[in-house]
Structures are given as structure tokens and as C-alpha cells.
Amino acid sequence: MAGNLFVKARETIIVDDAPTHPVIRAARREVRLESPRDLVTNRLIRSNEVLDELVAAAKSATQRALINPRTFSPFTPVRGTSRPDLRRWGDFVASSPRANPSEQRAFWRMIRAAEPRGLARLTATLAFKDLGLIHHIPWWLFEFGDITVEVN
């Protein structure tokens, strides 16, 4: 049973991975995502239809980036790596208009580290480990029955 969160006037409550507020601590749960379908199961993406659109958008954006010579010139690495940034985000977002921004970010966060050529095999049920990603991806969710914020 999810608890209710009440934020009083002039009070700040931080919802993060190390919460100190007792209601926040009680509402936090870790989910383990093993395939894109788990994003729907855990309500990070609202439907299988939206997930299918996101899968198709990721595949098409990656394919277009790989065949476009301008993708690699000038060379721009992914921050902290020597791997090229394929500049797929804008194409991915434009190719998934039914998904809202939080769904796009959640999906992209899961698959962006996959080997680009491996994304051609991506399906909603393909295990992340089959894309060369870690076996399961931990994700923190916070569930509340109701949230009330008092006006300052």
C-alpha cells in the first residue's frame, strides 16, 4: 500500500536514491529491468504500442546514423569514452511522436549503451544481456497514494 506524501509550506523533500524522509524511504522500490517489455510492466512506458514505436524509432535512428557519413565528421565521442556519438537522439524523438518525453528518456537510457549494429536485432522482448548490456538494469521507483504540496 503506497503512503501519502504531504509537503508543508516552506519545506523541501528530496526524492533520490538515498532518501532521508520516512515516507519517501517507504515508497521507494527497486525494479530490475531485464528487457524493454519490463518498462511497460513497471509503468515507465504506458503501453506495448508505445514501446513498439520506441523500438522501431531506435532501430531506424541508429540505421540512418550508421549510413550517414556526416555522423562521424567531425568526430564527437560519447562523454568519457572513445566511442563515437552517433547523434541519434533528435531522430529518435522525432520518430516516436506517440511517446511522451519521460517515456522516450526512460527507453533511451536503457538502450543507448548497446552496440549500434546490435540494435538491428532489438525487439520489445529481447533481453538486455543479448544486446551486450548488463544482465539486469536496476531502476528506483517511488510510489505514493497521493501527493499534496501546500502553497507557500
pLDDT digits (tens, 9 = 90+) for 82-115: 878 888 999 999 999 999 999 999 999 888 888 8
Predicted confidence band of residue 137 (pLDDT cuts 50, 70, 90): low
Which residues are bridge partners to 146 per DSSP? Answer: 4
Q: What local confidence, expressed as pLDDT, does residue 101 receive?
A: 96
3-state helix, strand, coil in the chain (%, to 5): 40, 15, 45
Q: How far apart are CA 143 and CA 141, in angstroms?
A: 7
pLDDT over 60 at 1, yes or no: no
Q: What single DSSP character describes residue 99?
A: S
Q: What local confidence, expressed as pLDDT, does residue 70 receive?
A: 86
Q: How far apart are CA 141 and CA 19, in angstroms?
A: 12
Q: 3 to each of 6, 9, 53, 73, 88, how far by Cα in Å?
A: 10, 19, 34, 52, 39
pLDDT in tens, 29-75: 778 888 999 999 988 999 999 999 999 999 999 999 999 988 888 88
Q: How far apart are CA 100 and CA 107, in angstroms?
A: 11
| 128: amino acid identity, one letter | F
In this structure, the chain runs to a length of 152
Q: What single DSSP character describes residue 135?
A: S
